[in-house]
């Protein structure tokens, strides 16, 4: 199972690459829409990137009903950790 630091770092790298933001802007409380300047297309692309990067941990795709709840960096990290723990 991946440890938290590894998941945190991988999530940050995806966000930096997808949204072209500085890593310092990425905190657990940072909202993709309000704090990191993402629009709805960006959030879809982020979810797809998270699915690809964490396919082993989450065992497939992130259901749309779950994706809608992933509003902050911390939401994503917690979701992936939760899924990784349910192997």
Identify the bridge partners of residue 72 per DSSP, sorted by sequence position. Answer: 31
pTM above 0.85, yes or no: yes
Q: What is the pLDDT of residue 2?
A: 61
Crossing angle of the two packed helices 4-19 and 40-53, in degrees rounded to 10? 140
Q: What is the pLDDT of residue 36?
A: 98
9: which 2 tokens? 């770092």
Any idea which residues carry the catalytic annotation? 39
80: which 2 tokens? 């992936």
The domain locations on the chain are: 4-18+31-84
Q: What is the pLDDT of residue 85?
A: 87
Classify domain 4-18+31-84 at the CATH class level: mainly alpha
Q: What is the pLDDT of residue 3?
A: 67
| Cβ contact 33:21 at 8 Å | no
Calculate the alpha carbon distances from 58 to 16, 19, 34, 37, 45 in Å: 21, 22, 26, 26, 17
Q: What is the pLDDT of residue 15?
A: 98
Average pLDDT of adjacent 10-residue blocks, the chain of 87 residues: 79 97 97 97 97 93 96 97 82
């Amino acid at each position: 199972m991946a440890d938290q630091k590894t998941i945190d770092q991988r999530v940050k790298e995806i966000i930096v690459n997808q949204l072209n933001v500085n890593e310092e802007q990425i905190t657990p409380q940072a909202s993709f829409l309000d704090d990191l300047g993402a629009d709805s297309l960006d959030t879809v692309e982020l979810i797809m990137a998270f699915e690809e990067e964490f396919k082993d941990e989450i065992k497939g795709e992130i259901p749309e009903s779950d994706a809608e709840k992933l509003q902050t960096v911390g939401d994503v990290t917690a979701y992936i950790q939760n899924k990784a723990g349910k192997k």
